[in-house]
């Protein structure tokens, strides 16, 4: 571990280089993955001492010998195959509208040929309200959204024909909390009358690229449960018009939640033209694995560029502008200048013009039904706009409907579901579509394609923090459900009351996390001060959820919890009584989480480890201790395998690294039962040689060159290439740069090329920013992200300016000598390389053959583009303004001359991608939420990542992942400023080299779309990814004697095993318990917990063609049952019923959890009702 102190005045930079979590930066802590969670299932609770035999580390479980079949869907439209054949520089681009002569001629032909074809139009009044963007959510609510919602209730009451549509539940809940009883009653009546439609019903309109499945579902559940409790309504239609590209996950989640239809907006301009030309704008969106087509959902693509009134009435923007009747005193806009009030003198001409635009829109579909949204961002925030829009449109509606002989049209005020109902009455024959709509591109600015691929990576610190907060909240949900139900059923008022008090913390944590999934939050596309507000709210979620965890763990392991109902300390003061502490902490919202040093008393110290997975896990666990002579034992007093690593200090005044004498990294190999809390005992062993002496340590800039430095044998890094080795791999690193070059796979006996590169792209000012990515291809000045000419082998012009190509520029100085630390011990070997202050990376290999970690390579980066380099620093050669930094792996995998690669969608499914030369670097970057890989018929190279980022493969054998980006300039997409608030960011991941073991399908780089079973992640990759996202959570037991179990009561808790899920067998290894969240009291007190919990279960489809993983401690059940043999057991659960995904609608009671049938890739929910 290395601590780096940064000094400016008198500031220090502390880097902690961990072996298992190799590099810790203590002022920002580098450790990402310690706080985790997964979900549970409550069949019964039982606290007991466990027979340690079930944790025999010598037992190696075989990998799955069954391969559940994944369905193979077929569809009329495969987005990958269609997309790569588009013309990405169409002749109409400069006009910014695809409507050309061929569309006009088709419209005129249809008009002539079908004179009697009636036109049906629905005018949908609505308002798009971002819960944070240029202002914070609270500022927007005060200034605009609050008035919109108050006027909505008032004006819909006044105008009986008017309808309205609302989407964001976060804002509706704010209105509800402030509304009078009469306003609430009227709101419910408007919904009952079908005049107000609630669409989607999520807490926010979620981003679809960067959000992980857990958070995406959780915000949907939060919104739907709020609707259920307060309004008694379930959404029927999805409305997702502002996310910057649309993925395949949201359609599945909406359909699984009971929605029937959905609307999308922002897709590539070439898709807009193609769907219009094919009259395929209404289609059934099909999942690639869904052979049954049961998950199909009817989707409508809004045919024009954007959702404003200017772009919704028809193809001619200048015409549509004349029908936006908003005129607010003091506003001067393009529509307020053009629009004139409808009167007797102009109504005929206006109506004729408008109906012609509507008919043009109808010609883009095989039916004659048109949906015309009337609204925009924060529209209807003034009472007079309601009057202006409704009264003018009412005149036009009445005039057109009253002149059927002229217009043969029927125009109504309506909602999304009204549109779909009319479409279904017209036709039931829709084309099917498989795939997604990334990358989004527009031609707004200058008629040139602008690719919205920058936001996949923008502000990666917050993308990482939200993933960590998801894990923390998930742990809290699981532990809380078990703890609260146990305390309630045992009539333990002390813990029941305390846990009931913290339910409000749970609700706040859920909602703040949900708010961050908004498409201008996690994307990094809000103003700096709004981003800070999002960050503070995320930090509040983080801290409140950790507080809940500590109390829940305490209640589950407290020996007095079943017998003593007296007050813990104070009924209203939780912190004073909690004796369970977290082993990791985050000092500030904008700093990384770090390990908290543990002091081990003379009589020892206990740590409790929570495995939130429903499967046994055998993996290394990291803690920070203040002693080097610590040993660890289990319940029987048996020693546990450990490794002790040094913690390094470095000051800015010297390049030398110093070993700390007060902090040490302790790694223990933990064997964790499914859904369990396991206690390990730390004690001092001063009579024997410190365990640290068994760890070999090398450093090329060590400050103390004694033979033994603070109990470590520190040696100088030898010259030449460096090797790391474990039972599976031998890694070779360059002697000069210390970058990975090759990997020898001992299992196959083959040596593989795996070269590690760090690079950067110079980005175009004003064309690249928070949203957009635009790589410079013209000569640029060196201070736009380059290093001196003599250092880089790049072509230059006569002025010495670089002309970067698609390979980018170096992100490290190849001539500089990096600081290197190599550590090797019983459990792992690691190399950490520090390239000045802006980049640090490490790679680790693990030695325990009984753990799946032995078959992969852990990879960590620390990137700091935070501010202008220190003038005394080596990095003064770099200017970080206007760059996109990346890491690239160059392998010998043959993924095609036009490289094919695969990136995951929201941690749910893998999507096939193919490089398209015409759209350059920026058009070939795609979102990767948790994973990406390249493969050929014999080999697959996979990178698992701890948070979302952009990914691409630009040349054969390469896989490139973005690290961070910085831009001083705005990209003209509304944010109004650049991205300059970078902070130190950590990314963790795994590298897997997997040989193909059999099976057919499209495993190579070319060909068609391929079978999904061949493009899914392997079983080993999914197992490691779950561990990366939801690692064991470690708690330290405090010494408060008034609340700690006494030694004579429970044998000092040598190994207290709280089996949260009592079962005869664990879940099938491919079944993931996504969440178990306690729902609010259904009796009406929604601020308190109830007797029900919603459990969401996911069965992950995996490829059996790649990967053989020794030591996977669970098995796969071939049948569709969640368990091979399971029962809820005992009487704590009253009944279980299957529901829609968000728990809104029952699908029938089950005899038990084992009765739930779950096919590969499916998500299902159970409502568990406790006695």
- Cα(354)–Cα(940) distance, integer angstroms: 56
Q: Does residue 638 share a domain with residue 503?
A: yes
Annotated active-site residue in 130, 242, 418, 533: 242
pLDDT at 572 over 80: no
Residue 504's pLDDT band (cuts 50, 70, 90): very high
| Shared domain check, 1113 and 1034 | no
CA distance 62 to 66: 11
DSSP 38-66: -----S--EEEEPPGGGG-TT--PPPPS-
pLDDT tier, 28 (very low <50, low <70, confident <90, very high otherwise): very low
Residue 816 shares a structural domain with residue 901 = yes
894 within domain boundaries = yes
| Alpha-carbon 1004 to chain mean position | 28
Residue whose tokens read 């796969």: 1116
What lies within 8 Å, CB to CB, of 695 at 6+ separation is: 643, 644, 645, 646, 712, 713, 823, 824, 825, 826
Q: 690 to each of 382, 662, 712, 1046, how far by Cα in Å?
A: 73, 14, 9, 30
Q: What is the mean pLDDT of the segment spanning 783-795?
A: 38
For the chain, how many structural domains are there in total? Answer: 4
3-class SS letters over 798-844: CCCCECCCCCCEECCCCCCCCEEEEEECCCEEEEEEEECCCEEEEEE
pLDDT above 90: percentage of residues in the chain: 69
- Dist. CA 713–CA 1142, nearest whole Å: 56
Domain with residue 891: its CATH number is 2.70.98.30
Specify the range with the lowest mean pLDDT, choosing from 540-544, 994-998, 1112-1116.
1112-1116
- Quick one: 1094 and 952 in the same domain? no
In a domain, 176, yes or no: no
At residue 769, the pLDDT reads 96
Picking from 967, 1001, 1025, the residue at the C-terminal end of a domain is 1025
Clarify whether 242 is annotated catalytic: yes
CB 445, CB 273: distance < 8 Å: no
Residues 554 and 606 in one domain: yes
In a domain, 1158, yes or no: yes
The parent domain of residue 496 ranges over 32-59+477-707+715-720+1030-1059
Asked whether the predicted pLDDT for residue 1060 surpasses 70, the reply is no
Contact predicate 863/838, CB 8 Å: yes
What is the pLDDT, as a whole number, of residue 1087?
Answer: 85
Question: Is there a single domain that holds both residue 943 and residue 1003?
Answer: yes
Instruction: Looking at the structure, tell me whether residues 1001 and 1123 fall in a common domain.
Output: no
pLDDT tier for residue 1125 given thresholds of 50, 70 and 90: very low
Mean pLDDT of 773-798: 48
772 lies in the same domain as 699: no
Q: Considering the domain boundaries, does residue 133 fall inside one? A: no
In 3D space, the residue among 827, 825, 853 whose CA is nearest the CA of residue 668 turns out to be 827
**Cα distance between residue 866 and residue 986, in whole Å:** 13
Q: Where are the beta strands (DSSP E) in 396-526?
A: 409-413, 432-434, 441-442, 450-451
666 occurs within a structural domain? yes
Residue 1001 has pLDDT above 80, yes or no: no
351 & 419 share domain = yes
The answer to whether 883 and 762 have CB atoms below 8 angstroms apart is yes
> Do residues 90 and 98 make contact, with C-beta atoms less than 8 angstroms apart?
yes
| 345-397 residue pLDDT tens | 999 999 999 999 999 999 999 999 999 999 999 999 999 999 999 999 999 99
- The per-residue pLDDT for 122 is 98
Alpha-carbon distance of 764 to 768, in angstroms, equals: 6
Q: Is residue 963 part of a domain?
A: yes
Which pLDDT score, from 0 to 100, does residue 814 have? 79
Last-in-domain residue among 409, 426, 443: 426
Residue 187 in any domain: the answer is: no
Domain with residue 55: its CATH number is 2.60.40.1180
Shared-domain flag, residues 1118 and 999? no
| pLDDT the model gives residue 35 | 30
| 1115, pLDDT greater than 60 | yes
> What is the pLDDT at residue 813?
85
- Tell me which H or E stretch contains 237: strand 237-240
Q: Tell me, yes or no, whether 253 lies in a domain.
A: no
**535/531 Cα distance (integer angstroms):** 6
Q: Which bin fits 647, alpha (ψ -120 to 50), beta or left (φ > 0)?
A: beta
131-152: pLDDT as tens digits: 999 999 999 999 999 999 999 9
Q: Which residue has the higher pLDDT, 467 or 879?
A: 467
Q: Residue 360: enclosing H or E segment and its boundaries?
A: helix 347-362
- CATH number of the domain residue 1165 falls in: 2.60.40.1360
User: Do 1037 and 973 belong to one domain?
Assistant: no
Query: How many helices and strands (H and E) does the chain possess?
Result: 23, 53
If asked whether residues 818 and 883 sit together in one domain, one would say yes
pLDDT in tens, 664-685: 999 999 999 888 899 899 998 8
């Amino acid at each position: 571990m290395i601590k780096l102190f940064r000094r400016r005045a008198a500031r220090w930079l502390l880097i902690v280089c961990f072996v298992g979590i190799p590099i810790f930066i203590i002022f920002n802590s580098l450790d990402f993955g310690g706080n985790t969670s997964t979900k549970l299932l409550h069949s019964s609770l039982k606290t007991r001492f466990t027979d340690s035999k079930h944790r025999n580390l010598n037992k190696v479980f075989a990998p799955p010998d069954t391969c559940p079949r994944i369905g193979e869907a077929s569809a009329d439209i495969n987005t990958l195959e269609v997309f790569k054949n588009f013309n990405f520089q169409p002749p109409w681009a400069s006009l910014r509208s695809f409507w050309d002569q061929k569309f006009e001629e088709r419209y005129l032909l249809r008009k002539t040929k079908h004179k009697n074809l009636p036109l049906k139009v629905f005018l949908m009044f609505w308002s798009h309200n971002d819960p944070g963007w240029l202002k914070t959510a609270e500022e927007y609510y005060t200034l605009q959204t609050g008035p919109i919602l108050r006027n909505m209730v008032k004006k819909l009451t006044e105008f009986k024909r008017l309808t309205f549509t609302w989407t964001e539940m976060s804002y509706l809940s704010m209105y509800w909390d402030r509304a009078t009883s009469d306003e609430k009653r009227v709101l419910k009546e408007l919904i009952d009358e079908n005049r107000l439609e609630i669409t989607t019903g999520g807490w926010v309109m979620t981003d679809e690229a960067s959000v992980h499945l857990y958070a995406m579902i959780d915000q949907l559940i939060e919104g739907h449960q709020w609707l259920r409790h307060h309004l008694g309504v379930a959404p029927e239609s999805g409305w997702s018009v502002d996310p910057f590209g649309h993925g395949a996950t949201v359609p599945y989640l909406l359909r699984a939640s009971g929605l029937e239809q959905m609307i999308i907006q922002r897709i590539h301009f070439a898709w807009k033209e193609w769907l219009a030309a094919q009259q395929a704008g209404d289609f059934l969106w099909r999942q690639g694995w869904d052979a049954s087509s049961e998950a199909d959902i009817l989707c409508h693509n809004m045919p024009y560029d954007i959702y404003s009134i200017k772009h919704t009435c028809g193809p001619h923007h200048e015409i549509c502008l004349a029908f936006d009747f908003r005129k607010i005193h003091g506003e001067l806009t393009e529509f307020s200048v053009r629009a004139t009030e409808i009167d007797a003198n102009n109504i005929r001409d206006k109506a004729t013009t408008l109906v012609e635009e509507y008919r043009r829109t109808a010609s883009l579909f095989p039916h004659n039904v048109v949906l015309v949204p009337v609204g925009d961002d924060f529209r209807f925030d003034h009472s007079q706009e309601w009057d202006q829009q409704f009264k003018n449109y009412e005149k036009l509606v009445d005039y057109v409907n009253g002149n059927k002989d002229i217009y043969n049209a029927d125009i109504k005020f309506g909602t999304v579901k009204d549109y779909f109902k009319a479409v279904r009455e017209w036709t039931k024959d829709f084309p099917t579509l498989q795939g997604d709509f990334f990358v989004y591109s527009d031609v707004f600015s200058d008629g040139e394609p602008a690719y919205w691929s920058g936001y996949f990576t923008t502000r990666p610190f917050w993308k990482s923090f939200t993933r960590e907060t998801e894990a923390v909240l998930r742990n809290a949900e699981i532990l809380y459900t078990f703890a609260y139900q146990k305390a309630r059923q045992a009539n333990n008022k002390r813990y029941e009351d305390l846990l009931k008090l913290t339910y409000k913390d749970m609700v706040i944590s859920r909602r703040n996390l949900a708010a961050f999934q908004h498409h201008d939050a996690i994307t990094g596309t809000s103003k700096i001060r709004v981003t800070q507000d999002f960050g503070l709210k995320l930090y509040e979620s983080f801290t409140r959820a950790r507080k809940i965890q500590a109390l829940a763990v305490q209640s589950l392991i407290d020996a007095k919890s079943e017998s003593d109902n007296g007050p813990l300390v104070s009924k209203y003061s939780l912190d004073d009584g909690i004796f369970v502490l977290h082993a990791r902490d985050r000092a500030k919202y904008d700093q990384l989480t770090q390990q908290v040093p543990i002091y081990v008393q003379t009589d020892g110290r206990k740590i409790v480890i929570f495995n939130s997975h429903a499967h046994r896990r055998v993996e290394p666990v990291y803690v920070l201790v203040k002693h080097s002579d610590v040993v660890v034992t289990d319940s029987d007093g048996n020693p546990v395998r450990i490794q002790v690593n040094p913690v390094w200090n470095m000051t800015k005044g010297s390049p030398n690294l110093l070993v700390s004498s007060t902090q040490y990294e302790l790694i223990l190999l933990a064997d964790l039962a499914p859904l369990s809390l396991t206690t390990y005992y730390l004690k001092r062993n001063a009579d024997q040689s410190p365990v640290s002496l068994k760890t070999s340590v090398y450093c090329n800039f060590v400050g103390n060159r004694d033979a033994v430095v603070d109990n470590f044998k520190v040696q100088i890094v030898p010259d030449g290439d460096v090797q790391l080795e474990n039972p599976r791999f031998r890694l070779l690193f360059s002697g000069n740069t210390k970058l990975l070059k090759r990997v020898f796979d001992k299992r196959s006996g083959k040596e593989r090329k795996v070269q590690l590169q760090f690079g950067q792209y110079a980005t175009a000012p004003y064309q690249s920013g928070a949203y957009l990515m635009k790589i410079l291809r013209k000569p640029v000045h060196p201070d736009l992200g380059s290093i001196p000419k003599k250092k880089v082998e790049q072509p230059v012009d006569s002025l010495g300016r670089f002309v970067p190509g698609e390979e980018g520029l170096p992100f490290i100085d190849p001539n500089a000598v990096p600081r290197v630390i190599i550590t090797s011990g019983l459990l792992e070997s690691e190399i950490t390389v520090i390239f000045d202050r802006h980049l640090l990376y490490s790679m680790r290999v693990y030695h325990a053959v009984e753990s799946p970690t032995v078959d992969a390579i852990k990879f960590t980066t620390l990137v700091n583009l935070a501010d202008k380099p220190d003038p005394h620093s080596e990095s003064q050669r770099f200017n970080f303004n206007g760059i996109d930094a990346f890491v690239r792996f160059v392998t010998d995998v043959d993924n095609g001359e036009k490289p094919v690669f695969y990136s995951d969608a929201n941690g749910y499914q893998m999507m096939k991608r193919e490089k398209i030369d015409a759209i350059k670097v920026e058009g070939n970057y795609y979102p990767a939420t948790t994973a990406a890989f390249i493969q050929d018929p014999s080999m697959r190279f996979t990178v698992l990542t701890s948070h979302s980022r952009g990914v691409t493969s630009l040349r054969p054998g390469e896989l490139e992942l973005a690290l961070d980006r910085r831009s001083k300039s705005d990209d003209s997409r509304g944010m109004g400023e650049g991205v300059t608030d970078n902070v130190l960011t950590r990314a963790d991941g795994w590298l897997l080299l997997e040989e193909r073991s059999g099976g057919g399908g499209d495993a190579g780089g070319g060909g068609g779309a391929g079978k999904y079973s061949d493009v899914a992640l392997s079983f080993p990759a999914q197992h490691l990814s779950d561990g990366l996202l939801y690692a064991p959570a470690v708690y330290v037991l405090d010494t408060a004697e008034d609340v700690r179990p006494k030694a004579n009561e429970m044998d000092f808790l040598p190994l207290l095993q709280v089996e949260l899920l009592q079962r005869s067998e664990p879940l099938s290894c491919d079944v993931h318990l996504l969440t178990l969240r306690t729902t609010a009291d259904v009796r009406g007190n929604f601020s308190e917990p109830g007797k029900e919990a919603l459990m969401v279960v996911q069965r992950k489809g995996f490829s059996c063609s790649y990967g053989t993983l020794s030591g996977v401690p669970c098995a796969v059940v071939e049948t569709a049952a969640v368990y091979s043999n399971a029962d809820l057991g005992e009487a704590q659960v009253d009944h279980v019923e299957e529901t829609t995904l968000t728990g809104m609608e029952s699908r029938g009671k089950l005899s038990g959890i084992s009765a739930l049938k779950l096919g590969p890739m499916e998500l299902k929910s159970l409502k568990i009702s406790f006695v």
